[in-house]
Structure 1
């Protein structure tokens, strides 16, 4: 739609109706706009799905819009339910969150726990997540592990929310791709039986919409739009490629015995160089279907140039025109650590080694204390 769109607003959330970007607020197919106008009931696709199917679709915000949202939450009396993706923990952190929420308590929720090996003890994982949150300046009052997709521990999460919220509303926050909308949908399923369970409104002075779920005492649980992290792997891959590298089931660790000056290619998306150290076994945690190829460091540049898009996929040959070049970052490892390729996975390396990570331009690579 064009100029007339700015005069059309969704009667559910107030977002400006548009038919060009399915991921943006207010999206409605052209045929639905015509039908809605004819019936005098014009809803965006997201609100239509809410009303008829109790289904929440994700909505994303820019950094500036999200800062406005956080500032408003900080002025409210609220329990902050902060959802992170355990598999992409660092990529799902919200920088400076603790500065915006004021005195409001934060409940940290690690989603997608079903992706991690069953052999990893969950109490140890909770402790690791808490320590990582502390390093980011957060002091959560508690940590809960869930799998929204498999409906694991959602009851426990709701019990924990009730334990801590007191006389407060509950705001659920998180970046895009952490599974927040799936989590909210599971909560809705558990609270069905109430007519018109979901209402929509928006923050004054903005076009940010929120989804409200009424709680028993007149307070509300509010789902907020997700913030876009531009350095996530999801933003440099095509949807088809993303499906090939985003885990959907428990990951199986893979061990590689490497000598110095050997390279692992992670498909054609990223690269790991083992530069200095003893011959060691390095453990890789990536989607089970991601092809990992080993070669000599001296041949790695030529190997990549020759095989990317074919032997080294994704990206596919069709994606190469828009796929960013790989950029290198070197790490000296002083304790057992994970070398993280944000949004893709990680490789656990021992102390006393020097390694390098190559990731697409704009995507982050970092070192952290080993999770496993």
Structure 2
């Protein structure tokens, strides 16, 4: 049996994963090329040196997310523009603005785009799908995108995957399919559902265990002898709330179940806190209904605007949480953004949720410095 000292010598000599070519390392679980020492020992015994990601892919048909820098991702998009393919662009319907890829329309060339709104299961069921699709098309057009088709899916439950595959087959016309998206949109979960659907019902279409990971910038899932679905790593958006929170706090931010809207009748001079992560001050306007769309377990607190600063100083990290007091210092200070509405409007904090405010209102929204805050025509 090989010893850890011998393995250390191999690691020092640039040991590589046979699946993706990444340099093997045993110390950073969240970094590329990681594999536990115990698994690496077994790999030497079986003459199969794989990183954890490729091991899960090869033996369990499970794709693990890999992150690239903005520059790496844009180089990959540049490659797509030179191909004749279908681009499947996966977005998070709960965090639409936070899952936009700036300038995507310039990178995909003349290739058709299938826009996929993932995590549809977290939106209120009362919201018609046709309305969601119309809203997505409007928002995509504003961003310069002209998708050929829009689909809604839930990577979590996989119910809409067969319909998505039918759309992919209709638009790809025998070509390769590139799946792109930012991190945290559920792209890898959706890809895994696609794999389950294809391998479960069309065994002759796809190999059941080995998906070629030619490099760390792509994983190819064969569709037939000439074409494949190519899963690309997610681009990191540093202005999303998730990048400032611990794994424990993320459960209060990322919805896992259908959202339950919370409506408040506010007079000017009142404030709503969303934990210690955000705050909305109603500065001016008539009494009206304000509806909050956040993870159901995120506590919302209403107070008077004149007391809001002192309330935050006294209760942040305790009554106002997340984050908890131990991690409050890791959160950038809240930054103020003021908006005046002329119609029913969503004030959106990327990766956290939104507050729907009435027309003719002046509202100041506070979010951690660096997190994007914007407005859009009300989704609901």
Task: Confirm or deny a common fold (TM above 0.5).
Answer: yes
1:184 maps to what in 2? 191
Q: Name the CA distance, whole Å, in 2 between partners of 1:225 and 1:30.
A: 25
Q: Deviations over 1:269-295 (max 9, x none)?
A: 111111110000111111111100001
* Aligned pair partner of 1:202 in 197, 205, 214: 214
Report the equivalent of 1:113: 120
How far residue 333 of structure 1 moved from its aligned partner, in angstroms, is 0.7
Tell me how far 1:21 sits from its aligned partner: 3.0
The alignment status of 1:313 with 2:325, answered yes or no, reads no
1:18 positional shift: 2.1
Alignment map for 1:134-145 (pairs within 5 Å)? 134-145=141-152
How far, CA to CA, are the matches of 1:2 and 1:95 in structure 2?
Answer: 44
The 1:252–1:2 alpha-carbon spacing in structure 2 relative to 1, beyond 3 Å, is farther
- The structure 1 residue matched to 2:84, chosen from 36, 60, 77, is 77
Correspondent of 1:338 among 341, 346, 350: 346
Structure 1 residue 69, shift from structure 2 partner: 0.7
Contact 2:76 2:217 in 1 (8 A): no
Residues 124 and 326 (structure 1), Cα distance of their counterparts in 2 relative to 1, 3 Å cut: same
Return closer, same or farther for 1:118/1:5 CA change in 2, 3 Å cut-off.
farther
2:4 matched to which residue of 1?
A: none
Aligned to 1:58: 65
* Counterpart-to-counterpart distance in 2, 1:238 and 1:29: 23
How far apart are 1:33 and its partner, in Å?
2.3
CA contact (8 A) 1:107 1:140 kept: yes
Deviation digits for residues 80-137 of structure 1 (CA, Å, limit 9, x no counterpart):
0000000000000000001111111110000000100011110010000011000000
- In structure 2, the residue matched to 1:253 is 261
Provide the residue aligned with 1:41 in structure 2: 48
2:135 to 122, 128, 152: 128
CA distance in 1, matches of 2:280, 2:335: 11
Q: Which runs of 5+ in 2 are unaligned?
A: 1-7
Residue segments in structure 1 that go unaligned for 5+ positions in a row: none
RMSD: 1.5
TM superposition shift of 1:23? 2.9
Determine the C-alpha separation between the residues in 1 that align with 2:228 and 2:198. Answer: 13
